[in-house]
Protein backbone atom coordinates (compact mmCIF):
# COMPACT_ATOMS: atom_id res chain seq x y z
CA UNK A 1 0.00 0.00 0.00
CA UNK A 2 1.52 3.35 -0.90
CA UNK A 3 1.42 6.54 1.13
CA UNK A 4 -1.27 8.10 -1.04
CA UNK A 5 -3.63 5.37 0.12
CA UNK A 6 -3.34 6.68 3.68
CA UNK A 7 -5.07 9.82 4.81
CA UNK A 8 -3.00 12.15 6.97
CA UNK A 9 -4.71 12.95 10.26
CA UNK A 10 -5.79 16.48 11.04
CA UNK A 11 -3.81 18.28 13.73
CA UNK A 12 -6.67 17.72 16.18
CA UNK A 13 -6.92 14.01 15.37
CA UNK A 14 -3.16 13.59 15.63
CA UNK A 15 -3.18 15.31 19.03
CA UNK A 16 -6.07 13.11 20.18
CA UNK A 17 -4.27 9.96 19.04
CA UNK A 18 -1.06 10.93 20.86
CA UNK A 19 -2.98 11.80 24.04
CA UNK A 20 -4.95 8.54 23.88
CA UNK A 21 -1.74 6.57 23.42
CA UNK A 22 -0.14 8.41 26.35
CA UNK A 23 -3.06 7.52 28.63
CA UNK A 24 -2.87 3.91 27.46
CA UNK A 25 0.89 3.73 28.06
CA UNK A 26 0.45 5.15 31.55
CA UNK A 27 -2.17 2.50 32.23
CA UNK A 28 0.11 -0.22 30.86
CA UNK A 29 3.01 0.93 33.03
CA UNK A 30 0.81 0.96 36.12
CA UNK A 31 -0.56 -2.51 35.35
CA UNK A 32 2.93 -3.90 34.74
CA UNK A 33 4.28 -2.36 37.95
CA UNK A 34 1.47 -3.66 40.13
CA UNK A 35 1.50 -7.06 38.43
CA UNK A 36 5.24 -7.29 38.94
CA UNK A 37 4.70 -6.99 42.70
CA UNK A 38 2.29 -9.95 42.50
CA UNK A 39 4.45 -12.16 40.28
CA UNK A 40 6.65 -14.88 41.69
CA UNK A 41 7.31 -16.85 38.49
CA UNK A 42 10.69 -15.76 37.03
CA UNK A 43 9.42 -15.78 33.43
CA UNK A 44 6.43 -13.63 34.33
CA UNK A 45 8.67 -11.26 36.30
CA UNK A 46 11.08 -10.92 33.35
CA UNK A 47 8.22 -10.22 30.95
CA UNK A 48 6.62 -7.69 33.30
CA UNK A 49 9.95 -5.90 33.81
CA UNK A 50 10.36 -5.70 30.03
CA UNK A 51 6.80 -4.40 29.60
CA UNK A 52 7.21 -1.88 32.43
CA UNK A 53 10.38 -0.48 30.85
CA UNK A 54 8.75 -0.42 27.41
CA UNK A 55 5.66 1.40 28.66
CA UNK A 56 7.81 3.96 30.45
CA UNK A 57 10.00 4.48 27.39
CA UNK A 58 6.86 4.81 25.24
CA UNK A 59 5.52 7.52 27.55
CA UNK A 60 8.77 9.43 27.00
CA UNK A 61 8.47 9.04 23.21
CA UNK A 62 4.91 10.36 23.33
CA UNK A 63 5.86 13.27 25.59
CA UNK A 64 8.56 14.20 23.07
CA UNK A 65 5.95 14.18 20.28
CA UNK A 66 3.47 16.26 22.26
CA UNK A 67 6.09 18.83 23.27
CA UNK A 68 7.29 18.98 19.65
CA UNK A 69 3.74 19.91 18.66
CA UNK A 70 3.49 22.47 21.48
CA UNK A 71 0.81 20.45 23.28
CA UNK A 72 0.35 19.96 27.00
CA UNK A 73 0.29 16.23 27.81
CA UNK A 74 -2.80 14.95 29.59
CA UNK A 75 -2.45 13.42 33.04
CA UNK A 76 -4.97 10.64 32.51
CA UNK A 77 -4.57 6.93 33.00
CA UNK A 78 -6.48 4.93 30.42
CA UNK A 79 -9.40 2.60 31.12
CA UNK A 80 -7.08 -0.30 30.34
CA UNK A 81 -5.78 -0.12 33.92
CA UNK A 82 -9.12 -0.90 35.58
CA UNK A 83 -9.96 -3.58 33.02
CA UNK A 84 -6.61 -5.31 33.43
CA UNK A 85 -6.49 -5.16 37.21
CA UNK A 86 -10.00 -6.64 37.41
CA UNK A 87 -8.48 -9.85 36.04
CA UNK A 88 -7.37 -11.78 39.11
CA UNK A 89 -5.33 -14.47 37.39
CA UNK A 90 -1.92 -13.05 36.59
CA UNK A 91 -1.59 -15.44 33.65
CA UNK A 92 -4.88 -14.22 32.18
CA UNK A 93 -3.96 -10.60 32.92
CA UNK A 94 -0.73 -11.05 30.97
CA UNK A 95 -2.75 -12.26 27.99
CA UNK A 96 -4.87 -9.12 28.28
CA UNK A 97 -1.73 -6.97 28.53
CA UNK A 98 -0.54 -8.50 25.26
CA UNK A 99 -3.86 -7.57 23.65
CA UNK A 100 -3.09 -4.02 24.76
CA UNK A 101 0.35 -4.25 23.17
CA UNK A 102 -1.26 -5.45 19.95
CA UNK A 103 -3.80 -2.58 20.03
CA UNK A 104 -0.94 -0.06 20.20
CA UNK A 105 0.87 -1.86 17.36
CA UNK A 106 -2.26 -1.67 15.22
CA UNK A 107 -2.81 2.04 15.98
CA UNK A 108 0.81 2.90 15.15
CA UNK A 109 0.82 0.86 11.96
CA UNK A 110 -2.34 2.65 10.84
CA UNK A 111 -0.91 6.08 11.64
CA UNK A 112 2.74 5.90 10.57
CA UNK A 113 2.32 5.62 6.76
CA UNK A 114 0.68 9.08 6.69
CA UNK A 115 3.03 10.72 9.19
CA UNK A 116 5.09 13.43 7.49
CA UNK A 117 6.80 14.82 10.60
CA UNK A 118 10.29 13.27 10.85
CA UNK A 119 10.59 13.64 14.63
CA UNK A 120 7.17 12.17 15.34
CA UNK A 121 7.76 9.36 12.84
CA UNK A 122 11.08 8.49 14.51
CA UNK A 123 9.63 8.53 18.03
CA UNK A 124 6.61 6.44 17.08
CA UNK A 125 8.69 3.96 15.06
CA UNK A 126 10.78 3.38 18.20
CA UNK A 127 7.59 2.93 20.19
CA UNK A 128 6.27 0.46 17.60
CA UNK A 129 9.47 -1.59 17.86
CA UNK A 130 9.15 -1.71 21.67
CA UNK A 131 5.58 -3.00 21.44
CA UNK A 132 6.41 -5.54 18.75
CA UNK A 133 9.26 -6.89 20.89
CA UNK A 134 7.10 -6.99 24.02
CA UNK A 135 4.26 -8.75 22.22
CA UNK A 136 6.67 -11.29 20.73
CA UNK A 137 8.12 -11.93 24.21
CA UNK A 138 4.62 -12.42 25.64
CA UNK A 139 3.75 -14.92 22.93
CA UNK A 140 7.11 -16.69 22.97
pLDDT in tens, the chain (140 residues): 334 334 567 888 899 999 999 999 999 999 999 999 999 999 999 999 999 999 999 999 999 999 999 999 999 999 999 999 999 999 999 999 999 999 999 999 999 999 999 999 999 999 999 999 999 999 98
The CB density around residue 61, as the number of other CB atoms within 10 Å, is 22
Q: Domain for residue 6, yes or no?
A: no
* Main-chain phi, psi angles of 2, to 5 degrees: -90, 170
Q: Domain for residue 72, yes or no?
A: yes
Q: Domain for residue 56, yes or no?
A: yes
Print the domain residue range for 75.
Answer: 11-139
Q: Domain for residue 2, yes or no?
A: no
Q: Domain for residue 31, yes or no?
A: yes
Domains in the chain, number: 1
Q: Which helix (H) or strand (E) holds 67?
A: helix 42-68
Q: Domain for residue 3, yes or no?
A: no
CATH number of the domain that residue 123 is part of: 1.20.1260.10
Amino acid sequence: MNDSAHRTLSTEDEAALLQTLLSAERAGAKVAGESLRQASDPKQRDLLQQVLKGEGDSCLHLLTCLRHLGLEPNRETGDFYDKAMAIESLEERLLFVDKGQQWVIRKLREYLPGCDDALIRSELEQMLKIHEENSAAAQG
